[in-house]
Structures are given as structure tokens and as C-alpha cells.
Amino acid sequence: MSDVLEHRQRRTLAPAPRTVALAVVADAALVTLFAGIGRSSHDRTTSVSGLLETAWPFIAGLGIAWLAIRAFRRPLSIMRSGLPLWIGAVAIGMLLRAATGAGTAVSFVVVTAVTLGVFLIGWRAIAVLVIRLRSR
């Protein structure tokens, strides 16, 4: 019985601010990495302004999704945070690109969805695995 109670208590406790901050930084860094990889694979110039020009719609989408789903409550959760953040970053990012006249070719949408899915869900899966292994 105490295991069930302990599990419930852990679920209701807010995550440490450090965990939330690290999750935000990891997400933003991976979205920026995605933009950098994309720019370099298309022989674009490597400037900070160019990188930000490519990354900003997805960073904005990610930020909007973070607030909309309140990811700060469970920043490491794959299903409650990772999945909706991935969808938000891609969907809102593509809408912002379309609204500003940037490219939204089907192949770009597919590559974006796959890469950001691997990045935003993948690091959470690794983190959860490490946490579980350490708690044993």
C-alpha cells in the first residue's frame, strides 16, 4: 500500500525548477540544432542571423506549445509533454513559415516532423530510462 501512496505523491509533486529549465533549454537547443543541420545540408551560410531566421518559427511553436499544454508540470513525460510539444513545434512552426512566405514543401514538412520527433521525444525517452536505471 505504501508503494501506491508514494507513487501518487511523486506524481502530484511539482518538478524541480532545475528540471524544467533543463527541459526548456534541451528543447530549444535541439530545435536550433535541427535548423542548423538543415541549413548546412543545403549549403546555406553559417551565420547566427541565418540560423535564427530558420529556427524562429519552430522555437515560437515550441514556446506556444510549452505554455498551452503546461509542459512545466511534467517536462520529462513523453506522452503528456514530448508528443504535444513535437506536434506543436511542427504544426505552429509550419503555419508561421507559411504566413511569412517561407517554404513549406511536403518533403520539408516530413523531414521536420521526423527530425523534431526524434529530438523532442527521443531525449525524454533517454532521460526517463536513465532515471529509472539510477533509481534501481
Per-residue pLDDT tens for 108-135? Answer: 999 999 999 999 999 999 999 999 999 8
Q: Is residue 9 over pLDDT 60? A: no
φ, ψ for residue 74, nearest 5 deg: -145, 70
Mean pLDDT of 49-73: 96
Q: How far apart are CA 5 and CA 54, in angstroms?
A: 47
How confident is the model over 25-48, as a mean pLDDT?
A: 89
Q: Is 113 helix (H, G, I), strand (E, B) or coil?
A: helix
- Whole-number Å distance between alpha carbons of 73 and 77: 9
The stretch 34-39 carries a mean pLDDT of 92
CA distance 13 to 135: 17
Of 96 and 43, the structure prediction assigns the larger pLDDT to 96
Question: Could you tell me the pTM of the whole model?
Answer: 0.86
